[in-house]
């Protein structure tokens, strides 16, 4: 599956993308904010990531900036029975709205894929991710959870967010691009 936003192309990963993935995610400041990525993160980890099978209901994408290449990743995942979103952006591209644009694209795709509710979270020491989630339409649930971070090698406190996509009056209004 491919998806185009105003500035980005969201596309599947291929094994040839592994060096770009490893270069983009391969610093502790990025990996420590993800639940499943190990630290250190090397080429073999990127190859495993690029080779993951796609679940048609839970696709994951590389974030490709035309003229620049791979600048991050965004996708759906399953946490227990909940559908969640996750993302990362290479440090050189922080602060330019790319994470928000990619997250909004997932929110727009979710009802098409049959999802009625999305969840997400961020480790408390990563408040920038909370801003991305709010801009994408998520709202804090007020719950704090402990979630394992492979890169940290321990559990860390996570702020939980939710986004209902369907209500009794029809689809929820989706956030507009800024």
pLDDT band at 169 (very low <50, low <70, confident <90, very high): very low
Instruction: Give tens-digit pLDDT for 96-145.
Output: 999 999 999 999 999 999 999 999 999 999 999 999 999 999 999 999 99
Tell me what percent of the residues of the chain surpass a pLDDT of 90. 90
Compute the distance between CA of residue 178 and CA of residue 19 in angstroms, rounded to an integer: 32
pLDDT band at 166 (very low <50, low <70, confident <90, very high): confident
The size of the chain, in residues, is: 178
With a CB cutoff of 8 Å and minimum separation 6, the contacts of 128 are 94
Cβ atoms 62, 21 nearer than 8 A: yes
Instruction: Give tens-digit pLDDT for 70-83.
Output: 999 999 999 888 99
> Between vectors from CA 96 to CA 92 and to CA 102, what angle results, nearest 5°?
100
Instruction: Give tens-digit pLDDT for 82-100.
Output: 999 999 999 999 999 999 9
Cβ atoms 21, 70 nearer than 8 A: yes
Domains and CATH numbers, the chain: 3-171 (3.40.630.30)
């Amino acid at each position: 599956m491919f998806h185009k936003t105003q500035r980005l192309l969201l596309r599947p990963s291929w094994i040839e993308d592994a060096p770009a993935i490893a270069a983009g995610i391969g610093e502790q400041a990025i990996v420590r904010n993800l639940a499943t990525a190990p630290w250190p993160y090397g080429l073999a980890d990127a190859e495993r990531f690029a080779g993951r099978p796609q679940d048609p209901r839970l696709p994951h994408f590389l974030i490709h900036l035309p003229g620049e290449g791979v600048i991050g990743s965004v996708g759906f995942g399953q946490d227990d029975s909940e559908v969640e979103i996750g993302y990362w952006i290479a440090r050189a591209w922080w602060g330019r709205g790319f994470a928000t644009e990619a997250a909004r694209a997932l929110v727009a795709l979710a009802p098409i894929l049959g999802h009625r509710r999305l969840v997400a979270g961020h480790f408390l020491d990563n408040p920038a991710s909370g801003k991305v989630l709010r801009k994408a339409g998520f709202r804090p649930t007020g719950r704090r959870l402990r979630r394992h971070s492979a890169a940290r090698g321990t559990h860390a406190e996570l702020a939980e967010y939710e986004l209902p996509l369907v209500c009794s009056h029809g689809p929820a209004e989706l956030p507009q691009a800024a």
